[in-house]
Amino acid sequence: LHLEAMKLEKMEIVSHLAASISHEVRNPLTAVIGFLQLIAENTKTTEDNKAYAKYAIEEATRASEIINDYLTFAKPHPEEECKMSIEQEIKKSIDILRPLLLKQNVETNVSFQHTGLIKGDPHKFHQVLLNIIKNSIEAMPNGGSVLINTSEENRNIYISIADTGHGMSAEHVARLGEPYFSLKGQKGTGLGMMVVYKIVESMNGSVEVESEYQTGTTITLIFPKIP
Ligand code: ADP
Ligand code: MG
């Protein structure tokens, strides 16, 4: 029992460390990308150096994407597990994504058939919704829609996120959540859905995926309802 407690404490320390590093690293990384862009766009920069700057931008962008998929809402302080309103947290997550949704011509429709409480850390729950909705946006390069629906059945709460994107084959659905599985080449990390599964499991929930190639994808999160 003592050993278990020590292991848990170690894990806590590691995850807080990761969260604080990501917070500290994100801003300087953004600055680095900004200055590299200035170098790349400067008319005095030689063609060779422009190419080097572009590589450096790509690599730095990749590093920041890994931080985004993993640790956007990880907080460098102890977890705050609480009862949260799914309706409120879904609305907050959509607000965070609003600029990206507008830019990519994706409209959202939200239908709250059920508005209950679930238990968990709101920051982690935001990370789950963010990673899922970002995939939906990325699956609709010419725009489309995301429909979010909540319902309740047999003391479970269902949150489904449906998009009108390019969908996935059955083999790809089966690989979803596997670390580093990505079909986006340099643009993907393959960590987004792994993080989704991990967080949802830690909240005693589960994830179901339905997808039809060239039609769309629906991801359903199932959580136990709290009285
Ligand atoms: P990444 O987005 O970095 O590639 P993810 O773990 O978030 O990694 O997703 C893994 C892969 O699953 C994606 O590369 C994509 O091919 C596929 N995928 C995930 N969500 C969707 C979706 N809504 N529509 C179509 N494909 C998806
Ligand atoms: Mg992703």
Report the nearest-CA residue for atom 23 of ligand 1.
136
Report the nearest-CA residue for atom 20 of ligand 1.
135
| Cβ of 216 less than 6 Å from ligand 1 | no
Ligand 1: atom nearest CA of 65 is: 3
pLDDT lower than 70: segments of the chain: 1, 11, 72-79
Report the nearest-CA residue for atom 27 of ligand 1.
135
Cα-to-centroid distance, 8 and ligand 1 (Å): 31
Element (H, E) at 91: helix 86-103
Q: DSSP string covering 101-131, please?
A: HHHTTEEEEEEES---EEEE-HHHHHHHHHH
**CB–CB of 150/157 below 8 Å?**
yes
Give the per-residue pLDDT at 24: 81
Give the per-residue pLDDT at 78: 57
> Which residues are paired to 110 by β-bridges?
148
What distance separates the 2 farthest-apart alpha carbons in the chain? 67
Mean residue pLDDT across the chain? 90
**CB–CB of 91/110 below 8 Å?**
yes
| Cβ of 192 less than 6 Å from ligand 1 | yes
| Cβ of 146 less than 6 Å from ligand 1 | no
What pTM, to 2 d.p., does this model score?
0.82
Whether this model's ipTM surpasses 0.90 comes out as yes
**C-beta neighbour count of 226 within 10 angstroms:** 12
| Cβ of 116 less than 6 Å from ligand 1 | no
| Cβ of 163 less than 6 Å from ligand 1 | yes
Q: Which of 104, 180, 182 to mutate to test the pocket of ligand 1 (most atoms within 8 A of CB)?
A: 182
Rounded Cα gap, residues 176 and 187, in angstroms: 17
Cα-to-centroid distance, 188 and ligand 1 (Å): 8
**CB–CB of 192/156 below 8 Å?**
no
Report the nearest-CA residue for atom 2 of ligand 1.
188
